[in-house]
Chain A
């Protein structure tokens, strides 16, 4: 009964004490709450961006596929035989089918890209009414009684709002559309009220699409409505049984999942990094609470002697953590929302990753997410408070009340065994494979390295700094600073936890990004061997054999080679891979092979990219079936090449093999070696004109240097967010240094007073603190750099291969690292001086009398 009563009463006391503490050391608590806020803000904003992006994508897919129960899509963008349409229609499980042609197209006037869809409006009316157009002059919604929706002029095009904007066309005007190498003029008949804002879609009649864009006899998609008396799974079974190899089953949900998984690894990387930042915040709370508990050691002892129960004491410290966590999390959620909004508006919902296009949807905040992140922040802050609280409660009150601040821990010898164990565990974890495509164990290894490094910090401090005592000393201040740290390595460790975590993380990310960028740069250099590349990169440019011949006879060209890129689905649950048709190794085209067959195998060879090898678990010499031709084609893996461009995987097939297999001689891209490579710009202009005349449309021509610049620009854009994270990590590191020193200096007012008594001037005290700050910074830097190097290797060799499916070579940006190190040391010293000036400013003589 008394203890229940005491809870209520001690709550009152605690309020007095907490408010008193807040008044006395506001910065200590503000830093702790801020570090939680930053971690939560990062995690929450990345989460919000993810949620909004996948929602936007899901809406888009559902919007375009309407209420279909299932979809059959071409395994390649060559489509599939249209006779599949009646065969599927006749299945007992099928109620209705809408055949669809789908192409990437370009508006003639503006050159803007649009998704071109060909439908039979009569069939689409029942299944995908969102694709039906509205006649501009009728002003009546498509469901109107006069049948506006079915009156689908065969040469008309209906445009979504976004497509209207991109095409700059008006209703009734003629609009040139280019797709699959052909251009045709359509009359803009009206809009597509069912298509969501931001989606650029043009809908034409399916017969016109087949005829005008050379797709006769094939379809790209069938939208299927299930018969009332059948189930979704029986429909899927019936469809799968009859699909030829060039068609695959894909439900709308499937499509969303697939596209989302494409960028999932990228996003998880960010979200996990954000959470690591949060954990760093947790360490800062731990630092702050440890120091605060040390400061208040005698207060706690007094309260215990006066009758405060042990449990109450620990609970109260936990409650302090909760208060910090709550304030920090609420702040973090607000900051997170604001930064998500800014990022979505400025960078776009793909974080600059180039995965999605279109305008971002509204930010999708769920109550659940808010509470999860609120809980995470509070939990982190409370765990940071747990151990200091327990330590405070366990102190012997009679000893503690007499002991000087922090002195009880001075006798501890820094233990190194648990730290080494943690590092060994990390060493073991990096060998484990990804779970469900996510490098969970890799992240655990990162956590283990961080924890191990922090554990080893006191040992490291002693080991690193002890030799310094032997050095001839000229400065008493330096000597005192050195001994203060050596005397209390545990206190130093508490102070350094946050610094080590943030420095380690920061350095790891700097090294990872630099390695990635250097590898991409080298790779680009190795593959871009031609002078000029011609194409839009999409199917809308196409050269038939005759045009190819004309182009190769153009003057000024030393060697020209043709290629083609199409999408091929190897597994319906995964995004399609790129199948590239081209010469494998020639003067214009090269592969940077990392593995190649040593045998002489009969059959058709293909060369697969490293991501493809990892995703589909393929080795050299292995046989696979490609969905080319109605019955598919068996090919073998002749080599594996490194590729940073296509995360979903890519395959290269020799041109002659493809020609023999398909009889399709059309090519969409070409690579040119010039006779006069010095004169690239003028030659580009001339060839652009001449090839344009042959192709009947303006080609896109880029030179090797231009492509490399664009690629690196894209790279930098997609890593902009990681640079942002780095900046935040630096911020956390500095906050850590600041908070730690503010707290430490607070505990030592009496010491300073004593020093003043024995003739130490203010300046000397400040110098001492500056030395201390720099020595601590040095230790933190050493531990941080070491753990950062280790973590960067985990990122480079474990996490990135597991989530992006690509490897890279480590490249350490020494200059950047030196800069960071110098900045950290200087900041540590400056913060210490700042804290010291405040300390020295208080009445030191009087402080001797005080025990607090």
Chain B
């Protein structure tokens, strides 16, 4: 849901200005429980819903054994606009993509983005399988089920193949994942942890062969966050033994959780659904961004109750300065983290001032 806000943010004016002018508004389907996922169809786009994303995060290792963190995200958004505009340029769907590379040796995170309205086969998200084109950026799923993505940004490029080693992990109630107290505040949400990564990275002017482990989050929904939410904290962790943890909390203005949730799946495939009462997020060390002045708990603990037993996951950042700010996104922190016996990504939003919706 952090991603919802990102997209909604930049479309804010779009939506507000369009509302008064058009009578024929799009009707967004409601997210309900009890829907069955079907693959590969559900790897593809769900155009009717307001927002959707394909979100890859993970740790890479070069041939020299140097670690790198990466993030590749494709967003789809269906803006509120007249559905009766017959122009092929009418923004029926907006595709936005964002990629970042974290290098602990330089202590810097570099990132780039693409955006455009779907159309003319230049910008497109297939409804049949994971197949998104956004100008020169691509995400596809091969016949053998391997996710492949190519993105070229300023000063870096990623060309990665990500092969699932486990079946998708359906979050929440069989994929119906609640974000707030109201049942409609929910999304369809599944993750694919433990993706085996191979490919190449162009970084610092050199092309480097890389291997690693990644995480895919797939989510689509129509409703926005609870009104009193100001931000959130999310993590997805791949453990060395094959198990995986996804946990999030939605924060209110007072810093307390408005809602929380998550999933833990053991190496054997046994999945535990985490309810709001099962998750606590505890800041441990604050880093102040020199650029924005925002204070982020870059070292933090997710304390999670698994089968009635509280387990403490202490998250250490790869390095502190993994804050992002871009033309189409709010300012937030999205970085590679490690914990004992596992690695993953931590995302924290709503720290650089209040996020205005």
Decide: A210 near B89, CB < 8 A? Known: A122-B117, A187-B17. yes
Contact B21 A122 (CB under 8 A): no
Decide: A155 near B89, CB < 8 A? Known: A86-B122, A122-B117, A123-B116. no
Contact B135 A96 (CB under 8 A): yes
Contact B87 A151 (CB under 8 A): no
A616 CA / B28 CA spacing, docked (Å) = 58
Residues of B within 8 A of A96 (CB): 135
Contact A145 B85 (CB under 8 A): no
Q: Min CB distance, A191 to chain B, in Å?
A: 15
Decide: A154 near B122, CB < 8 A? Known: A145-B327, A147-B327. no
Verify if A36 is at the interface (C-beta below 8 Å from B). no
Q: How many A-B residue pairs have CB under 8 A?
A: 88
A205 CA / B17 CA spacing, docked (Å) = 13
Residues of A within 8 A of B91 (CB): 154, 207
Residues of A within 8 A of B227 (CB): none
Contact A154 B14 (CB under 8 A): yes
Contact A150 B10 (CB under 8 A): yes
Decide: A148 near B90, CB < 8 A? Known: A120-B117, A122-B117, A154-B18. no
- Report which residue of B81, B89, B90, B326 has the largest number of chain A beta carbons within 10 angstroms of its beta carbon: B89
Verify if A211 is at the interface (C-beta below 8 Å from B). yes
Which of these, A86, A148, A210, A217, contacts B13 with CB under 8 Å? Answer: A148
Contact B17 A99 (CB under 8 A): no
A352 CA / B13 CA spacing, docked (Å) = 44
Chain B stretch 1-56: residues in CB contact (< 8 A) with chain A: 9-14, 16-18, 21-22
Contact B115 A150 (CB under 8 A): yes
A143 CA / B88 CA spacing, docked (Å) = 27
Contact B87 A206 (CB under 8 A): yes
Verify if A156 is at the interface (C-beta below 8 Å from B). yes
Residues of B within 8 A of A153 (CB): 13-14, 16-18
Decide: A207 near B17, CB < 8 A? Known: A123-B116, A151-B10. no
A123 CA / B327 CA spacing, docked (Å) = 14
Q: Min CB distance, B352 to chain A, in Å?
A: 11
Which of these, A82, A149, A156, contacts B88 with CB under 8 Å? Answer: A82
Residues of B within 8 A of A206 (CB): 87, 89
Contact A99 B89 (CB under 8 A): yes
Q: Min CB distance, A123 to chain B, in Å?
A: 7
Verify if B325 is at the interface (C-beta below 8 Å from A). yes
Contact A150 B328 (CB under 8 A): yes
Contact B116 A122 (CB under 8 A): yes
A205 CA / B85 CA spacing, docked (Å) = 12
Chain A stretch 194-252: residues in CB contact (< 8 A) with chain B: 205-208, 210-211, 216-217
Residues of B within 8 A of A210 (CB): 87-89
Chain B stretch 80-107: residues in CB contact (< 8 A) with chain A: 81-82, 85-91
Closest to A138 in B: B13
A177 CA / B117 CA spacing, docked (Å) = 25
Verify if A337 is at the interface (C-beta below 8 Å from B). no
- Report which residue of A148, A211, A217 has the largest number of chain B beta carbons within 10 angstroms of its beta carbon: A211
Residues of A within 8 A of B22 (CB): 155
Residues of A within 8 A of B18 (CB): 153-155
Interface code B178-200, partner A: CB below 8 Å = 1, 0 otherwise? 00000000000000000000000
Verify if B241 is at the interface (C-beta below 8 Å from A). no
Q: Min CB distance, A134 to chain B, in Å?
A: 12
- Interface range, A side: 35 or more
Contact B328 A147 (CB under 8 A): yes
Closest to A83 in B: B120
Contact A155 B87 (CB under 8 A): no
Verify if B121 is at the interface (C-beta below 8 Å from A). yes
Contact B14 A152 (CB under 8 A): yes
Which of these, A120, A143, A148, contacts B89 with CB under 8 Å? Answer: A120
Verify if A85 is at the interface (C-beta below 8 Å from B). yes
Contact A155 B17 (CB under 8 A): yes
Residues of B within 8 A of A143 (CB): 327
Residues of B within 8 A of A205 (CB): 89
Residues of B within 8 A of A187 (CB): 17, 21
A847 CA / B135 CA spacing, docked (Å) = 96
Which of these, B16, B86, B115, B120, contacts A211 with CB under 8 Å? Answer: B86
Decide: A89 near B13, CB < 8 A? Known: A154-B18, A207-B90. no
Verify if A606 is at the interface (C-beta below 8 Å from B). no
Q: Min CB distance, A190 to chain B, in Å?
A: 10
Residues of B within 8 A of A152 (CB): 13-14
A217 CA / B87 CA spacing, docked (Å) = 7
Residues of B within 8 A of A207 (CB): 85, 87, 89-91
Residues of A within 8 A of B135 (CB): 96
A122 CA / B13 CA spacing, docked (Å) = 14
Verify if A289 is at the interface (C-beta below 8 Å from B). no
Contact B21 A155 (CB under 8 A): yes
Chain A stretch 445-502: residues in CB contact (< 8 A) with chain B: none
Chain B stretch 236-252: residues in CB contact (< 8 A) with chain A: none
Which of these, B10, B81, B116, B327, contacts A154 with CB under 8 Å? Answer: B81
- Report which residue of B11, B12, B16, B88 has the largest number of chain A beta carbons within 10 angstroms of its beta carbon: B88
A826 CA / B59 CA spacing, docked (Å) = 101
Decide: A216 near B12, CB < 8 A? Known: A145-B325, A153-B17. no
A143 CA / B326 CA spacing, docked (Å) = 11
Chain A stretch 59-107: residues in CB contact (< 8 A) with chain B: 82-83, 85-86, 89-90, 96, 99
Contact B17 A189 (CB under 8 A): yes
Residues of B within 8 A of A86 (CB): 120-122
A153 CA / B331 CA spacing, docked (Å) = 23
Closest to B331 in A: A145
Verify if A135 is at the interface (C-beta below 8 Å from B). yes
Interface code A153-194, partner B: CB below 8 Å = 1, 0 otherwise? 111100000000000000000000000000000010100000
A83 CA / B91 CA spacing, docked (Å) = 17
A149 CA / B14 CA spacing, docked (Å) = 11
Q: Min CB distance, A29 to chain B, in Å?
A: 69
Interface code B103-119, partner A: CB below 8 Å = 1, 0 otherwise? 00000000000011100
A99 CA / B326 CA spacing, docked (Å) = 25
A207 CA / B88 CA spacing, docked (Å) = 7
A86 CA / B133 CA spacing, docked (Å) = 13
Residues of A within 8 A of B325 (CB): 145
Decide: A151 near B12, CB < 8 A? Known: A85-B120, A89-B122, A123-B116. yes
Residues of A within 8 A of B122 (CB): 85-86, 89-90
Residues of B within 8 A of A122 (CB): 115-117
Q: Min CB distance, A171 to chain B, in Å?
A: 12
Q: Min CB distance, B111 to chain A, in Å?
A: 13
Q: Min CB distance, B13 to chain A, in Å?
A: 3
Contact A151 B11 (CB under 8 A): yes
A153 CA / B13 CA spacing, docked (Å) = 6
Closest to A86 in B: B120
A205 CA / B13 CA spacing, docked (Å) = 14
Closest to A206 in B: B89
Closest to B10 in A: A147
A150 CA / B22 CA spacing, docked (Å) = 20
Residues of B within 8 A of A90 (CB): 122
Q: Min CB distance, A128 to chain B, in Å?
A: 15
Residues of A within 8 A of B13 (CB): 135, 148, 151-153
Residues of B within 8 A of A89 (CB): 120, 122
A150 CA / B327 CA spacing, docked (Å) = 9
A381 CA / B251 CA spacing, docked (Å) = 88
Chain B stretch 53-89: residues in CB contact (< 8 A) with chain A: 81-82, 85-89
Nearest first, the 5 closest Cβ-Cβ pairs linking A and B are: A153-B17, A151-B13, A155-B21, A210-B87, A86-B120
Known: A147-B328, A151-B14. 17 other contacts (CB 8 A): A82-B89, A122-B115, A122-B117, A147-B327, A149-B327, A150-B328, A151-B11, A151-B12, A153-B17, A154-B17, A154-B18, A154-B90, A187-B17, A187-B21, A189-B17, A207-B91, A216-B87
A-B contact pairs, 23 of them (CB 8 A): A83-B120, A85-B122, A89-B120, A90-B122, A120-B117, A123-B116, A145-B325, A146-B10, A147-B10, A150-B115, A151-B14, A152-B14, A153-B13, A154-B14, A154-B17, A154-B85, A155-B18, A155-B21, A189-B17, A206-B89, A207-B90, A207-B91, A216-B86
